[in-house]
A and B are shown apart, each in its own frame.
Chain A
Amino acid sequence: MSRRVLCKFFAHGACLKGEHCEYSHDWNDPPNLICTFYQKGVCAYGSRCRYDHVKVSRPQSSTASSSITEQRPLVSDDVVFGNTGITSNGIAAAPEFSPSRSPSFIPSIPAWNQEQQQYHEFVGDDDVSQSRITSPAEIPICSFAAAGNCPRGETCPHIHGDLCSTCGKHCLHPFRPEERAEHMKSCENKQKHLEALKRSQEIECSVCLERVLSKPTAAERKFGLLSECDHPFCISCIRNWRSSNPTLGMDVNSTLRACPICRKLSYFVIPSVIWYSTHEEKMEIVDSYKAKLKSIDCKHFDFGDGNCPFGTSCFYKHAYRDGRLEEVVLRHLGAADGDTVIAKDIRLSDFLASMHLQ
C-alpha cells in the first residue's frame, strides 16, 4: 500500500533509505498529502495547512455506544446544519445553537464533526454579541474546500475560498488579501521547485555518466555547478577532479580547474540539489549559497586569531569575537605625480603583468 505512495523525503532529494525505503521512489506515484493532525482531531494550521484536511477512511468502529453513533450524525446534521445557510454576502449565518447538548456526547462525534461543532460554538457565541465581528476577514474559510473538496458543496454553511490556480484548491480567503498573496507566492514557489526537481531527475553527470539524483547516497545526490559554464556534474565527481593530484604534468589552472567538457576556467563549485534552466535561476542558487557561507565563521580566520589564505575574497564570515566584522584596509599609494591612489586588492599577478610590459 505505502509502496505506491511517493516518499516525501525522496521528493526533496533526501531519502536516506534508498531502495530499502517502504515508500515509493517513483515520480508517477501520488504523494500522500493527508494531514495526520487533522485526522487525529485538530490541526493548528487550520485552513492554511499545506496538507489535505479530509475525513478518515477507517471503518466505523463498533466500540462507541451504538445508540449514539447511529443517531448522532443524523441529529447533528439536522440540528446543527438544518438552520444554516449562506447569506447574500457569502458569510455563513450562524446556526441556532442548541444549548441542550450535553458534553457527554462530544467524544462520540467523529473528529471532523467535532471541529465543526467547536466552530459552531464559536460562531454561536459571537452571534450573541454580534458587534464583535467587525469584518468578514475574521471568519475562517471552509477547511474542506481549502483542502480540495467539500462534501457539502453548495449547502456548506461556511465561506468557500476562491480557487488557487496553482494548487487547484479553494483555499484563497476572499477577505484577507495578505494571506492570499502569501499563499499564491508560496504555492507558486513550491510548484516551481517541484518542477525544477523533476526536470533535474533526468540530468546526467558527464564524468560518472549516472543520473545525479539517482546516486546511492544522499551526499552524492547533488549537482556541482561551475561558476563560468553550464555543464552538469555531480558534486563528488567535479570535486574529485579538481582536487586530484597534478602528477602527470597537468596544469592546475588550465586543466584541473577547467570544466572537463569546455575547459573554461571556474574558480569555485556551487553545490545544489536542483539543476537550473535559466541564468536567473543559477544566480539565485549561487547567491543563496554565498549568503549561507557568509553566515558561517571562517575557520582559517578564527575570529582574528588565525590567517585566512583567501583574505578578503573568502566566502566565509570574517568576524572578531565581539561580533565586529573584519575591516578591509584600504592601502594608500603615493603615485609618482603626487596624487594618492587607493589600492583595493594587490595581487602578485598585477606586478607580474606590469613587469611584462617593461
Chain B
Amino acid sequence: MIDFARVQKELVECGKDAEGSGIKVTPKSDNLVLLLGTIPGPIGTPYEGGVFKIDITLPDGYPFEPPKMQFSTKVWHPNISSQSGAICLDILKDQWSPALTLKTALLSVQALLSAPQPDDPQDAVVAQQYLKDYQTFVNTARYWTESFAKPTSLGIEDKVQKLVEMGFPEAQVRNILEAVGGDENLALERLL
C-alpha cells in the first residue's frame, strides 16, 4: 500500500523549494499514483535551457519500492532511451532506498544529464555516437533540447517563415516540416 501521507509531505516539501532547485512535482490524477516531475537541464551541458518532463508512477510498495520514472520529453542521452524515455539509473532500480524521495531521485536524474555513463547505456545508438563522435552527440543533444524541451517552442508558421527567410521554397519547407514532425532543425538538415 502506498504511504500517501508521505507522498503528500514530499509534494509540500518539493513545493517549498521549487524556486531554488527548479524541480517540480505535481499530481496528474487525484489519487497521487501518477505524478509529473519537471527538471531544468543542467547548466553547462547540451541540455541547458530545456525543461524536461518526467512521468512518475508510484508502485504499490512505495516508499519501499522505487518509483517508476520515464522521460516524456524526448532526450538525446546515452542513458535515456531516445524512443521510450526509459531511464537507466541504479537508484531507480536495485540501489533504491526508502530514505530517498521523489525530489532526491529527480535530482539524481538531473545529475545523470550532466554526467552520462556511455559504458552502461540505455540507448546504444546514442552511446556509440557519444564515444565515437562526441561533437555530433553534443549538437544532436542540443538540437533535441531546443526542439522538444523549450517551454516556448515556435509555432509552425514561425518555423516556416524562418526557413523561407533562409532561402528555401515555401512548399518544400512545409512538406519537410510535416515529414519530420515540426522539428525545424531536422527539417533544416533535410533541406540541406
Contact = CB atoms under 8 A, between A and B. Distances in A.
B5 A208 contact: yes
A97 interface: no
B9 A209 contact: yes
A258 B98 CA distance: 11
B94 A260 contact: no
- Per DSSP, chain A at the interface is loop
B97 A248 contact: no
A167 interface: no
Interface in B82-99: 93-99
B97 A260 contact: yes
A251 interface: yes
B55 interface: no
Nearest to B63: A207
A208 B65 contact: no
Contact of B65 (A244, A258, A263): A244
Contacts of B94: 248-251, 255
B61 A261 contact: no
B98 A260 contact: yes
- Per DSSP, chain B at the interface is loop
A237 B98 CA distance: 9
Interface string B1-36: 001011001100000000000000000000000000
A258 B100 CA distance: 14
Interface in A260-300: 260-261, 263
Interface residues of A, number: 19
A250 B98 contact: no
Nearest to A208: B6
B96 A250 contact: yes
B130 interface: no
Contacts of A231: 99
Contact of B97 (A240, A249, A251, A261): A261
Nearest to A247: B65
B67 interface: no
A240 B65 CA distance: 11
B37 interface: no
Contacts of B168: none
A251 B61 CA distance: 17
Interface string B94-115: 1111111000000000000000
Contacts of B63: 207-208
B50 interface: no
B66 A207 contact: no
A315 interface: no
A244 B64 contact: yes
Nearest to A207: B98
Interface in A224-253: 231, 237, 240-241, 244, 248-251
Interface in A204-226: 206-210
A209 B61 contact: no
Contacts of B66: 248
Contacts of A249: 93-94
Contacts of B5: 208, 210
A260 B66 CA distance: 13
A244 B61 contact: yes
Interface in A285-322: none
A241 B3 contact: no
B10 A209 contact: yes
Nearest to A209: B9
Contacts of B9: 209-210
A238 B94 CA distance: 18
Most chain A CB within 10 A, of B3, B9, B64, B94, is at B64
Contact of A241 (B6, B10, B93, B98): B98
A240 B95 CA distance: 17
9 contacts: A207-B6, A209-B9, A210-B5, A240-B64, A241-B64, A248-B66, A255-B94, A260-B98, A260-B99
Interface of A: 206-210, 231, 237, 240-241, 244, 248-251, 255, 258, 260-261, 263
Interface of B: 3, 5-6, 9-10, 61, 63-66, 93-100
The 4 closest A-B pairs by CB, nearest first: A260-B99, A260-B97, A207-B98, A249-B94
